[in-house]
Structure 1
């Protein structure tokens, strides 16, 4: 019996043309590129680097805030924090205002890593924007922002 070249039903053969597939693929590839660079330069994964950056920026100070900002579940953030805490980049501190709240603080080592993240991320973005004009980049960003707004239903 000869193997068929494409045995998928017709409705599945053009999945690579669907917006959701393209967005997912680009997200995955960007995350892989960032992780490769942060592993090489900082010794942490891209997600760990992003968490350190978010903490340094002050956008998030709790595991719940990080989970919301990163779009991952709280248990995944807890595991990530366990790892970066073992590396000496963060410490967990009870809030003075509400002892039930645990805040995440960067150590000096963590701050030293976090300040390097924007430059690494910037170099990855520059590579993926290669060959695009500033107008094309602006248009792409505006379209992606519209897609993002459309997700808020």
Structure 2
């Protein structure tokens, strides 16, 4: 089996196609990804945001610069440590996140078309287990939580 190649190819194709879907909204998938994450963690320090997204600080800084120029985020100095910049969504960002939701739903429906629900559930469980195994390897152990990823 060629799991690695299939996962890589599927991920790359999904990114390319989703960027195409988002183009009419004037936003990229990378920008949307950051906005969606911030929407669940509004006000995180920029350095922690880079760590959470597993993105380089310089690359994320450039992306946030573009988001700030476009009016999607604000950087506000931390009240206790002015060297720390916290990143907050603007109302414009909250609106585009709402606008993207139906695009995302439609896109996912297209790529999942013709796949039985049972197959999707098995695939989700398998990918979740693979993710847990990779996390365990990253942490230097071989155990997992035994969950199925569907909670």
Q: Aligned-pair distance for 1:71?
A: 3.0
Q: What is residue 52 of structure 1 aligned with on the other side?
A: 35
1:64 to 25, 28, 47: 47
Say if 1:62 and 1:102, in contact at 8 Å, map to a contact too: yes
1:116 to 99, 102, 110: 99
Change in Cα spacing, 1:19 to 1:120, as seen in structure 2 (3 Å) is: same
The two structures have a TM-score, normalised by structure 1, of: 0.80
The two structures have a TM-score, normalised by structure 2, of: 0.81
Aligned residues: 136
Gaps of 5+ in 1: 1-16
Q: Aligned-pair distance for 1:120?
A: 2.1
CA distance in 2, matches of 1:112, 1:43: 13
Q: Aligned-pair distance for 1:59?
A: 6.5
Q: Aligned-pair distance for 1:98?
A: 2.8
CA distance in 1, matches of 2:78, 2:65: 19
Q: What is residue 93 of structure 1 aligned with on the other side?
A: 76
Q: What is residue 26 of structure 1 aligned with on the other side?
A: 10
**Based on CA coordinates, which of the two structures has the bigger radius of gyration?**
1
Say if 1:88 and 1:107, in contact at 8 Å, map to a contact too: yes
Gaps of 5+ in 2: 138-151
* Root-mean-square deviation (Å): 1.8
